A and B are shown apart, each in its own frame.
Chain A
Amino acid sequence: DIVMTQTPLSLSVTPGQPASISCKSSQSLLQSDGKTYLYWYLQKPGQSPQLLIYDVSSRLSGVPDRFSGSGSGTDFTLKISRVEAEDVGVYHCLQGRSLPWTFGQGTKMEIK
């Protein structure tokens, strides 16, 4: 199974400041079709997860452009350029390269 490791597991950010979350996979997520199946989700308090980023860096329609994804192979990053109060919650990365699909442990972000 592909192991997904997120760091940090928690962070506290001042509104307006940037934030960054790392997700590393135990194997390359590059598929033979040329795509890299790495996704980012935000689970706001008391809610279901919501998709932010797919295929490493494609933002879902409606997701603010302060969210961006980058990386390749086994190392990936989610960046928030200017954190807002509504961004609080747990961020999860997911690999869709091979079954079983596996998630990172989650990164809990709070606002200072």
Chain B
Amino acid sequence: DVYLVESGGGLIQPGRSLRLSCTASGFTFGDYAMSWVRQAPGKGLEWVSLIRSKGYGGTTQYAASVKGRFTISRDDSKSIAYLQMDSLKTEDTAVYYCTREPLFDLWGQGTLVTVSS
């Protein structure tokens, strides 16, 4: 089976850091770019970050709302994508999904991040 599983979410205080993981299975992870998308409670979907495959330089992109605070990375040997989230704000509270580019045809179940004091 082909699937993605996110982990690492939880309750965190403003200003602290959290690292999310996205573990892939059933496909050649290294061949694909991966993105993180989030959904605040009761809101729509917001693209957060992208990491291209090593074949395309492994370059990264970020939404303006997280640039300078979040860092995306990948470990193709483990089929894992990461999202390091620093200086968290209350407005970062959301379910975070990882998804496979370019079609966003595969999504994980999401992991909830709650930023609150």
Query: Do A48 and B97 touch across chains, with their CB atoms under 8 A apart?
Result: yes
Q: A54 — which chain B residues lie within 8 A by C-beta?
A: 103, 105
Query: Do B107 and A50 touch across chains, with their CB atoms under 8 A apart?
Result: yes
Interface size on B, residues (CB 8 A): 18
Query: Do A101 and B110 touch across chains, with their CB atoms under 8 A apart?
Result: no
Q: Is B14 an interface residue (CB 8 A)?
A: no
Query: Do A49 and B107 touch across chains, with their CB atoms under 8 A apart?
Result: yes
Q: Specify the main secondary structure of chain A where it touches its partner.
A: strand
Q: Is B64 an interface residue (CB 8 A)?
A: yes
Q: Is A100 an interface residue (CB 8 A)?
A: yes
CA distance A52 to B97 in the complex (A): 18
- Selected from A49, A51, A99, A100, the residue in CB contact (under 8 A) with B45 is A49
Shortest distance in angstroms between A74's beta carbon and chain B's nearest beta carbon?
19
Q: A51 — which chain B residues lie within 8 A by C-beta?
A: 103-105
Q: Is A106 an interface residue (CB 8 A)?
A: yes
Q: B61 — which chain A residues lie within 8 A by C-beta?
A: 99-100
Q: Is B108 an interface residue (CB 8 A)?
A: yes
Q: A104 — which chain B residues lie within 8 A by C-beta?
A: 44
CA distance A106 to B43 in the complex (A): 9
Pairs across A and B, CB under 8 Å, 8 listed: A49-B97, A50-B107, A94-B104, A96-B102, A100-B61, A101-B35, A101-B47, A103-B45
